[in-house]
A and B are shown apart, each in its own frame.
Chain A
């Protein structure tokens, strides 16, 4: 279980000896950063979710989402990862326990990226990204500079007039991310956004996402069932078990951000992946018990 003390530098168990880490100082800096950004944006305490059909999706869940961090929820299908995102977004409510948000509940406070790009097929790329601003009553003319800036940020500056069906899967996902970022939300929720993409596109978007996270300092809660993706992206991984959904282990990824070019092939990465895989195996074993 996670609690407010999780993530302190002194608690972080490095999975390798310090002498083996060539950039040990960077790792230490990263660990310190996790400690510095401890203000929770969202807190779930003993939270449970039971659906109308009686399915217990979550039970006894404690989770803090800290400002500025990249938190990944990792777990098998059906363990309630997406349910947590829906609870945080306010699209659903907890059946028991409490959920508190340390951010204003206005239109622009939370961005959401779904597993599918979920674009409006009848609207151009510009209009899709413009949506959040339009719903705030901002005119197209006033919004244009912001929309174009975000489109440039995700590398789609030249595609503003294209329609979603004219784009590749990776480009559609970029539009979806741009739509979420255009309001500059302090919290961005991402529900397996790259699950349907090929490995090359996924790697590229992973790097782009980390760059955006570094530039915008947005807090990100990311859902995935990929161990490798979770280790590459996160400051912290919350490993979940199913039936009912709960967090069984937290892993702090104390690797430097932005990630080094050879991070994916480093021993540290492999060690973190091994640690996350073992935790995930534990989650699967819990289900089979």
Chain B
């Protein structure tokens, strides 16, 4: 039996992307039909077309808020990458550093960020507190995954580096860091999503209004005013931002691992 793509002579990318797009369109159509046919009021469930319309009409409020949230998310992710990778490298080089700092990293990870945020808001300005909250959430997966990757280099290759009298830094640069790359990228993808969640959670806790308000505040504000279409529009932007971050990190992962790692490479020769 011929595969779907061969019958219709569709390009490969179209065969891969068509199913989820079609399912998504069908769901939107069903949602739209349900709201229209059952005359559901917009303050209960707005139709997709109304959400889209709100996105356009409220763009002056929503898109600046999106930029604020994105700026926080990406800033926190960058800090988490620097901190997570840096600390993981120190863990790999000196065991006493790992023994000294890992418990604190675990404490930060297991304490709910929503419980830490009010405390941070006492000590820091709201934008800084939100950034730190997002950083704390994104930091641990990057740290733990990178540390695991650095410790997972092939034992025989480690022996080979010893045999060649490689220095500690040569072993790190030519063996441990490349071996840790797939683990790091896995942690980065988790961290990217978590940074956005951390930013949203911290924004909700901060309740920061005015020019520096993020999307979370706009959602809360719209909820108080029963402006449900705007809530959905803001939620749509948050989802879109999350998908964009995940997609960008997936592209980065494929670019870095494409030819050699099983997770990203094509079939073997």
Where the two chains meet, the residues of A that have a C-beta atom closer than 8 Å to any C-beta of B are 86, 89-91, 106-107, 110, 112, 114, 116, 118, 120-123, 131-132, 134-135, 163-168
Contacts and interface: CB of A to CB of B under 8 A. Distances in A.
B226 interface: no
Nearest to A118: B156
A121 B260 contact: yes
A131 B166 CA distance: 10
Contacts of A163: 259-260
Interface in B227-269: 259-262, 265, 268-269
Q: Top 9 nearest A-B pairs by Cβ distance?
A: A118-B156, A122-B178, A107-B165, A114-B156, A121-B260, A135-B164, A163-B260, A122-B260, A135-B166
A249 to B, nearest CB: 29
Contacts of B261: 121-122
Contacts of B164: 107, 131-132, 135
A116 B155 CA distance: 11
A65 B269 CA distance: 40
Contacts of A167: 269
Nearest to A106: B165
B269 A89 contact: no
Among the interface residues A86, A135, A164, A166, which one has the most CB atoms of the partner chain B within 10 A? A135
9 contacts: A89-B163, A107-B165, A114-B156, A122-B179, A163-B259, A165-B262, A165-B268, A166-B259, A166-B269
B152 interface: no
Given A120-B175, A163-B259, A166-B269, A135 B162 contact: no
Contacts, number: 58
- Chain B binding site: helix, strand, loop or mixed by DSSP? helix
Interface in B173-192: 174-175, 178-179, 181
Contacts of A165: 259-260, 262, 265, 268
B26 interface: no
B125 interface: no
B8 to A, nearest CB: 31
How big is chain B's contact interface, by range?
A: 20 to 34
Given A163-B259, A163-B260, 14 more contacts: A91-B162, A110-B163, A112-B159, A118-B157, A120-B157, A121-B260, A122-B181, A131-B160, A131-B164, A131-B174, A135-B170, A135-B174, A164-B260, A165-B262
Interface in B146-168: 154, 156-157, 159-166
Given A122-B181, A135-B174, A165-B268, A116 B159 contact: no
B114 to A, nearest CB: 39
Contacts of B154: 118
Contacts of A86: 159
B160 A112 contact: yes
Interface of B: 154, 156-157, 159-166, 170, 174-175, 178-179, 181, 259-262, 265, 268-269
A89 B261 CA distance: 30
Contacts of B265: 165
B163 A90 contact: yes
A123 to B, nearest CB: 7
- Chain A binding site: helix, strand, loop or mixed by DSSP? loop
Contacts of A166: 259, 268-269
Contacts of B260: 121-123, 163-165
A168 B165 contact: no
Given A120-B175, A165-B260, A165-B262, A135 B163 contact: no
Nearest to A86: B159
B163 A91 contact: yes
A9 B156 CA distance: 38
Among the interface residues B160, B181, B259, B268, which one has the most CB atoms of the partner chain A within 10 A? B160
A146 to B, nearest CB: 15
A120 B156 contact: no
A138 B126 CA distance: 53
A86 B158 CA distance: 13
B164 to A, nearest CB: 5
A118 B165 contact: no
Nearest to B171: A135
A122 B180 CA distance: 11
Nearest to A92: B159
A232 to B, nearest CB: 26
Nearest to A133: B164
Contacts of B262: 165
A120 B268 CA distance: 16
Nearest to A121: B260
A129 to B, nearest CB: 13
A110 B165 CA distance: 11
Nearest to A116: B156
B186 to A, nearest CB: 15
Nearest to A161: B259
Nearest to B182: A122
Nearest to B161: A135
A114 B269 CA distance: 23
Nearest to B258: A163
